[in-house]
């Protein structure tokens, strides 16, 4: 009987531990993100696992990008009209929202689709 109680208690601790880990959420920024609000030029951001993606500007323009992350830094590189441009952002990921902050402290927040 004592062994059964110990086993039950151990199983309960294991189940609770796993449920806390599952509730932790993913720290991955990969996925499709839509802008939270209407005051930004970017309407959608797609970040794939392989470091590629796209940025949509309004409904009609989409640019292919590559990106890298290091700690809380996101560097996005895009090419258009024969020019290549890289922008670095500090990012935070909280409650399904991705916030990018550029060097002038301008923020844009996205919601995961």
Q: Which residue has the higher pLDDT, 11 or 37?
A: 37
Tell me if 11 is assigned to some domain. no
Burial class (CB in 10 A: 0-12, 13-18, 19+), 72: exposed
What band does 39 get if pLDDT is binned at 50, 70 and 90?
low
In a domain? residue 71? yes
φ and ψ at 51, to 5 degrees? 85, 10
CATH code for position 50: 2.40.128.50
Residue 58: per-residue pLDDT? 86
Q: Quick check: is 6 in a domain? A: no
* Polymer length in residues for the chain: 113
Mean pLDDT of 26-45: 86
* Residue 3 resides in a domain: no
Considering the domain boundaries, does residue 21 fall inside one?
Answer: no
**Domain enclosing residue 85, as ranges:** 26-112
- Whether residue 52 lies inside any domain: the answer is yes
Residue 54: how many CB atoms within 10 A of its CB? 15
Instruction: Give me the number of domains the chain comprises.
Output: 1
Q: Judge whether 106 lies within some domain.
A: yes
């Amino acid at each position: 009987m004592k062994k059964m109680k110990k086993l039950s208690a151990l199983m309960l601790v294991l189940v609770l531990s796993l449920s806390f880990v599952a509730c932790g959420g993913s720290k991955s920024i990969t996925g499709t993100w839509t802008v939270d609000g209407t005051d930004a030029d970017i309407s959608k951001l797609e970040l794939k696992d392989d470091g590629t993606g796209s940025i949509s500007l309004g409904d009609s323009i989409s640019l292919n990008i590559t990106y890298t992350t290091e700690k809380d830094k996101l560097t996005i590189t895009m090419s258009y009209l024969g020019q290549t441009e890289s922008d670095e952002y500090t990012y935070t990921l909280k409650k399904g929202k991705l916030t990018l902050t550029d060097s002038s402290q301008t923020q844009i927040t996205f919601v995961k689709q």
